Amino acid sequence: MADLELVQLHGSSHLVPGPTNIGVIIHGSDAFLVDSGNDKEAGRKILRLCESRGLGIKAIIATHSNADHIGANAYLQAKTGCRIFATKGEQAFIESPRLEPGFLWGGFAGTELDNKFFVASPSKVTDVIENAEALKSEGIQLISLPGHFVDMVGVLTEDRVFYIADCMFGPRVLDKYRIPFVYDVAAYKATIEMVRNMDADFFVMSHGEVERDIGKTASDNLELIARLEGSILDAMAGESSFEKILARVASSFGVDLSYGQYALVGSTIRSFLSYMANGKRVSYRFKDNEMLWSRFEC
């Protein structure tokens, strides 16, 4: 793993580019991290980077609890005693990370998901974000960004830098993974619309480039969601089981399912089916104890 680079965006707001981009907000000799990176090694690197600049890590603001965002929490908290801010909805996953693979799988996930990509080391949330008044004095505003995961937030600084977590993804990421993880489709779409209309000078995606104008990326992400909805409808072919829909949608997007991808993409397709059923676009019935989905007919 190469040495990390600290990039100043504007004023006190910085970025450490990486597999998961890490925000660094500097006030005096204090550093506030926006997420911590994907593993212990990332933690070692960012701690060394901060120390080399005379900075102490005062707090980590966890945008959400996915392992690639909190993977260095435990290491950094043990080394520095830093505070960790998170929403109530993400707190349980941060403190008990083995909840995540079970959440994705819909039951006990087994050893295939027992790795650093799904299970971070547990860390202690010291400050539930709903009560995080202390951050306001640091010029840090927390913005709810629901949709991607249970209770995600973004961070807007007084420098007009908006760290938008995983509410949308850059083109290279979309091209690589094809189907992004979505927990609540309606909220996901509304969040993208909200962010594209936010008044900020820099938009920092956790997986993607820093952008001054987020409009095209927002449109690309919404277009992908629309394509997914259309692909799910096409995959029904009269009546179809979830397994057939998943296989057809994955194939149409060029995704080769593995155990992990089955969990991630499968969870996303279930979320879409629920969303589309709520909107009276699809319906289901049980036949011989098999759940079958079809286009909604009035």
Per-residue pLDDT 10s for the chain (298 aa) are 467 899 999 999 999 999 999 999 999 999 999 999 999 999 999 999 999 999 999 999 999 999 999 999 999 999 999 999 999 999 999 999 999 999 999 999 989 999 999 999 999 999 998 765 668 888 999 999 999 999 999 999 999 999 999 999 999 999 999 999 999 999 999 999 999 999 999 999 999 999 999 999 999 999 999 999 999 999 998 899 999 999 999 999 999 999 999 999 999 999 999 999 999 999 999 999 999 999 987 5
Shared domain for 23 and 158, answered yes or no, is yes
What is the count of structural domains for the chain?
2
Shared domain for 20 and 121, answered yes or no, is yes
Shared domain for 55 and 161, answered yes or no, is yes
Q: What's the 3-state SS for the chain?
A: CCCCCCEEEECCEEEECCCCCEEEEEECCEEEEECCECCHHHHHHHHHHHHHCCCEEEEEECCCCCHHHHCCHHHHHHHHCCEEEECHHHHHHHHCCCHHHHHHHCCCCCHHHCCCCCCCCCCCCCEEHHHCHHHHHHCEEEEECCCCCCCCEEEEECCCEEEEECCCCCHHHHHHHCCCCCCCHHHHHHHHHHHHCCCCCEEEECCCCEECCCHHHHHHHHHHHHHHHHHHHHHHCCCEEHHHHHHHHHHHCCCCCCHHHHHHHHHHHHHHHHHHHHCCCEEEEEECCEEEEEECCC
pLDDT given for residue 1 in this prediction: 45
Shared domain for 146 and 290, answered yes or no, is no
pLDDT given for residue 147 in this prediction: 98
Residue 92 falls inside a structural domain: yes
Shared domain for 11 and 124, answered yes or no, is yes
Residue 205 falls inside a structural domain: no
Domain with 243 in it:
235-295
End position of a domain, from candidates 129, 144, 166: 166
CATH of the domain at 283: 1.10.10
Residue 183 falls inside a structural domain: no
Q: Is the pTM of this model over 0.85?
A: yes
CATH of the domain at 101: 3.60.15.10
pLDDT given for residue 131 in this prediction: 63
Residue 17 falls inside a structural domain: yes
pLDDT given for residue 38 in this prediction: 92
Shared domain for 148 and 25, answered yes or no, is yes
